[in-house]
Amino acid sequence: MGAVYRKKYCETLLEHFSSLRENEKGTVVGAPSLVSFAEKVGASLSDIERWRAEHSDFDRACGHAFEVLRQLLIDAALSERVNVSAAKFLLSSEFGMAPGGKGGGRDKEEAEALSEGDRALLANLWERLSDAKGAL
């Protein structure tokens, strides 16, 4: 059967995804994940996947948590608290944020649905991340 879902896990999940782990110098050394959340609440990744399928509130909380993580990664990359190449890889592979608005993390229809403004924002972000990488 697995671990039992509790409504409070929506809030616990969002708290878990609200910050990156940093060392004493302020360099990012870790990011939250569903695996680390599962460990925190005594569940398995299979339990998390089952909860998402069975509880729409938890599924929505997961979607929100991923958006929070995406923004944390962008902010950390732009402030050079995380390796720029690693940030670019994670943003493109996990969140579909690649130059031109295309990427591996989102399906083709979702990537194509990006507005021109979103495409310009992504192009600007990639340019800024590339400039930051070159300055290191």
Same domain for 18 and 30?
A: yes
Same domain for 72 and 125?
A: no
How high is the pLDDT of residue 89? 76
Same domain for 76 and 14?
A: yes
Same domain for 4 and 37?
A: yes
Same domain for 4 and 54?
A: yes
Residue where a domain stops, chosen among 82, 107, 126? 82
Q: How far apart are CA 30 and CA 51, in angstroms?
A: 25
Same domain for 59 and 17?
A: yes
Q: How far apart are CA 132 and CA 41, in angstroms?
A: 37
Same domain for 68 and 30?
A: yes
Strand partners, 21: 30
Tens place of pLDDT per residue across the chain (136 aa): 799 999 999 999 999 999 888 888 887 788 889 999 999 999 999 999 999 999 999 999 999 999 998 888 888 878 877 777 777 777 777 777 766 544 444 444 544 544 555 556 556 666 666 665 554 4
Element containing residue 102 per DSSP (H, E): none
pTM (two decimals): 0.67
How high is the pLDDT of residue 103? 44
Into how many domains does the chain fold? Answer: 2
How many other CB atoms sit within 10 Å of the CB of residue 60?
12
Same domain for 97 and 135?
A: yes
How high is the pLDDT of residue 127? 67
Same domain for 94 and 136?
A: yes
Which domain range does residue 34 map to? 1-82
Cα 76 to Cα 39, 61, 68, 105, 136, distances in angstroms: 25, 22, 12, 20, 15
